[in-house]
Structure 1
């Protein structure tokens, strides 16, 4: 659950609009404070539906600084008929974050932050035959680095789920292969800008980190992280508790005892009274349920596609391993069991075992 933090010098993402401004037939727009998809569509004489289609959006959420591609603002001037002496026509440019190989168009996020979950979008007649790797994971503190991944989807529209490990500020590099063709891309990564939090927990609580049962607990969770079952969710993810307040943010670097190692917080904490209902964030299968020394009352749900959700510190666990659960189903109650100093739910969203920001999943089917 807890890993030693690696300190790296962050590299700020480079602006990717230069390539966009060179395009003639399509425009690029940078989202500004107060913008909505509706206001952007109205200002540029298009529709929300067209912006959603062109940018492969899965919802109405947009972020300040995000690059959106617009329908052609200036119709391209027809090229004159090719003459025998004309040079060969050059390939048409594609939007920044988009690359192509034979029969496949790959669309990637323009930028990421450490701890993000994200998707590569593959479209085209050969998209279902492609495989994806993330070679930048080699040498990082990450489970199964550079794993060979198969796209999920149908009818020429596929996605591959990616993750940015906490502590990473070097670019994410991806490779898409189909047949004998390969395309490689790079996505800049920024840090979270958080300062170290010193908890200084009393021995009565911090001592649970040394509990003899912790080794078996960690092994059981690692087994859940290794699952690679088919995707089972079809609806957007929902909050696990009906509270909005957070007592500890995702990705927070912290020490648990004075002079202890700096570790990352791999989930988000939601303070709530003991007994508050804990809900499944989406459909899946319970693969772990019970009381453990560090995580306390724990439920782990496998959603398929390498995605698991984890619910810590519950006072009551109401489901059993092997049980199918549905989005919004009550699976337990908030408590303060395990390594906990007060009643709250610690929620994790793990992509192939790596912690990703739960906020990036809420109210959408796929992150970003």
Structure 2
């Protein structure tokens, strides 16, 4: 699997941002050749050499290479400049960026969602921002492999674009959990719990954050990564890990990843001690399995504020924080958010 390191993104405060490159860097591994990397990325060796100013085809382990397949592509419409990623991966949060005097008038839809198992498919989205720099947030559903199709409309004009979706998920993990554990998923209270969370996903409030997202907890180890396909037992349906698990001692503070409003704070059969924060624009963060909660519904919170404490409540086999970041209800990789104002 390619090891990628995100390049820095230029950000401005108060909702304004620069239209920065979406390029990423690939770290050369032992056994890599320029030909093998080009084949994996579906590009030519000459493209890689030109992008990286290489005079030869020799590589060194640890060398950083720019990958052209990750560069943004820009199109124009009546003076409006539209920037979209040229490739996305399953579970990715991304931005379609709009620049120009009429950027605020444009509307964006993701037409491919009409054929996907997705919440609020092809929702008509108004861009947010200021000063001629605007954006719309997109998401790629886990398990989706067909190209993403977007539409940008400005008055009577419209353009569409197609973006390939990469499958970067690993092999299916068979957890083989005992029936005594999986029975928790059949708790009679689960339906009400899920319905409550779905209401949070349906919220569409103004952008509440003006600073990059940050994971302030002193937890550095991930016990279970985002997007892992899994079965609870050999006969079960394949599901995905919709968040990231951070193990920690019971009582370790759980901190808000950005500003927002608490819309759920309580203890539930599956998610255990749960806090959900609405950050606006259809973005919510969820914090599972807490032993104690430190906030109430309706409370405004700021980035880094304590929400509760790590525990092992609900469907949990040990003390940890399960963190999710959802865009209009669909799970996105938290790593796409940290250190950024926008993904």
| Shared fold, TM over 0.5 | yes
Name the SS of the counterpart of 2:121 in structure 1: coil
**Equivalent position of 1:105 in the other structure:** 81
Name the SS of the counterpart of 1:128 in structure 2: helix
**Equivalent position of 1:130 in the other structure:** 106
Pairing partner for 1:120 from 96, 99, 102: 96
Cα distance in 2 for partners of 1:36, 1:190 equals 19
**Equivalent position of 2:306 in the other structure:** 330
1:170 aligns with 2:133: no
Name the SS of the counterpart of 1:105 in structure 2: strand
Pairing partner for 2:157 from 157, 160, 181: 181
**Per-residue deviation at 1:198?**
1.3
Deviations 1:197-239 (A, max 9, x none): 1112223321110000000000000000000000010001111
Name the SS of the counterpart of 2:143 in structure 1: coil
1:230 aligns with 2:192: no
**Equivalent position of 2:221 in the other structure:** 245
**Equivalent position of 1:191 in the other structure:** 167
1:56 aligns with 2:32: no
CA 1:96–1:226: 2 relative to 1, 3 Å: closer
Cα distance in 1 for partners of 2:197, 2:159 equals 35
Name the SS of the counterpart of 1:97 in structure 2: strand
Structure 1: gaps of 5 or more residues: 1-31, 38-47, 74-94
**Equivalent position of 2:193 in the other structure:** 217
Q: How do 1:188-337 residues align onto structure 2 when only pairs under 5 Å count?
A: 188-239=164-215, 241-337=217-313
Q: Is the 8 A contact 1:278 1:330 kept in 2?
A: yes
Cα distance in 1 for partners of 2:218, 2:141 equals 28
CA 1:348–1:34: 2 relative to 1, 3 Å: closer
**Per-residue deviation at 1:100?**
1.0
Deviations 1:328-362 (A, max 9, x none): 00101011111111111100000000000001100
Q: How do 1:139-150 residues align onto structure 2 when only pairs under 5 Å count?
A: 139-150=115-126
Aligned residues: 298
TM-score for the superposition, normalised by structure 2: 0.81
Q: Which has the higher strand share?
A: 2
**Equivalent position of 1:352 in the other structure:** 328
CA 1:35–1:116: 2 relative to 1, 3 Å: closer
**Per-residue deviation at 1:33?**
8.2
Q: Is the 8 A contact 1:198 1:254 kept in 2?
A: yes
- Deviating beyond 3 angstroms after TM superposition, the runs of 4 or more aligned structure 1 residues are 32-37, 65-68
Cα distance in 1 for partners of 2:170, 2:5 equals 25
